[in-house]
Amino acid sequence: MSDRAELLEATLDSLPEGIALLGEDCRVVFWNQAAQAITGFAPLALVGRSAPDDLSPLLDRCNACTGSGSGSEGGPIPEPGRGILVHAHHKLGHEISVMARLLILRDGLGMRIGTAIVFHPAECLDALPLGETGEDDNVAASQADLTDRLESLYQDFSHGGLPFGVLWITVDQAHELRGTHGIGACEAMLTKVERALAQGLRPGEYLGRWGEDEFLLISHERTPAMLSQHAQALAGLARTSDFRWWGDRVSLTVSVGAAQVENGGSLVDLLERAKAAMLSSFHAGGNQISRAPEGHSCSPS
């Protein structure tokens, strides 16, 4: 049994993500080397003890102990397996931002025996290129949700998971409609387009607002060519949307940028390539799909 425990500890210590294991009493029972590298806290300072105040946002906010989200930062409690952005403090005092996800540990009878928290630095999170939100809280919330999903998928891909791609979509008529008919008309039109696009979603895909006039679709198409074909079909759904406002009929088109995640590329690079492709479509007159060229300019975080 001791050999198995040593093998397990060695395996967890070899992982690039921080691993914290907590018992039923909420005390730390294991803290791997990556967790020490990220936070500055060594296992000897934590194992057998409750988390220090500097790390309580990480451990409490992830609902690891009480199930009530009693961490000092408050905020939403993630579903098991989902990640959230957490701001804690390094042992040296500076703030660290991590993406953390929660795993409930159960015995053979299904009884909860502890909690695992898996986390990694979110160094590029604030640098992700986003669409303009204005003062729309709903758009900001959608961006946060999409960012969470992108971070999770990117980490899975970095560790051998499935590839994925994104479609950065802007509605060509949105800016003009907002100026001529007002915000209400523009929002109604965007809702119409979103519903049309949703009709073409495939299993496992996710669509959300990425800016005032923009959407982001996360897809698991296996190749850039397949992603572009999918974008063509979605653009067709947007074009056939019949939008009318006070008797005026508005013809709708979208400009789309498609980009596929690449080995050695970062999440920031993926979104920058998708945005550049979308802008290329838009400035070419709209109603077009552009595929981002392969190749990247920065390394994964």
Does residue 300 sit within a domain? no
Q: Are residues 158 and 252 in the same domain?
A: yes
For the ranges 67-76, 237-246, 274-283, which has the lowest average pLDDT?
Answer: 67-76
Report the share of the chain in percent with pLDDT over 90: 30
Q: Are residues 174 and 80 in the same domain?
A: no
Q: What was the pLDDT predicted at 228?
A: 94
Q: Which of 121, 148, 178 is the last residue of a domain?
A: 121
Q: Which of 76, 95, 121 is the last residue of a domain?
A: 121
Q: Per-residue pLDDT for 79 more than 50?
A: no
Q: Are residues 115 and 188 in the same domain?
A: no
> Across residues 225-245, what is the average pLDDT?
90
Q: Are 223 and 260 in contact (CB under 8 A)?
A: yes
**pTM for the model:** 0.60
| Number of domains the chain contains | 2
Query: What CATH number does residue 58 fall under?
Result: 3.30.450.20
Q: Are residues 105 and 140 in the same domain?
A: no
Domain boundaries, position 255: 127-291
Q: What was the pLDDT predicted at 219?
A: 96
Q: Per-residue pLDDT for 252 more than 60?
A: yes
Q: What was the pLDDT predicted at 284?
A: 92
Q: Are residues 284 and 163 in the same domain?
A: yes
C-beta contacts of 191-199 below 8 A and 24+ residues apart:
192/241, 192/243, 192/252, 193/238, 193/241, 193/252, 193/254, 196/237, 196/238, 196/240, 196/241, 197/169, 197/234, 197/237, 197/238, 199/237
For the ranges 1-5, 262-266, 285-289, which has the lowest average pLDDT?
Answer: 1-5
Q: Which of 70, 104, 121 is the last residue of a domain?
A: 121
Q: What was the pLDDT predicted at 198?
A: 94
Q: Are residues 149 and 239 in the same domain?
A: yes
How does the average pLDDT of the chain come out, rounded?
Answer: 82
Other Cβ atoms within 10 Å of 254 Cβ, number: 32
Q: Are residues 149 and 34 in the same domain?
A: no
Query: What CATH number does residue 253 fall under?
Result: 3.30.70.270
* Residues 39, 18: Cα–Cα separation, whole Å: 9
Does residue 297 sit within a domain? no
Q: What was the pLDDT predicted at 131?
A: 73
* Residues 214, 256: Cα–Cα separation, whole Å: 10
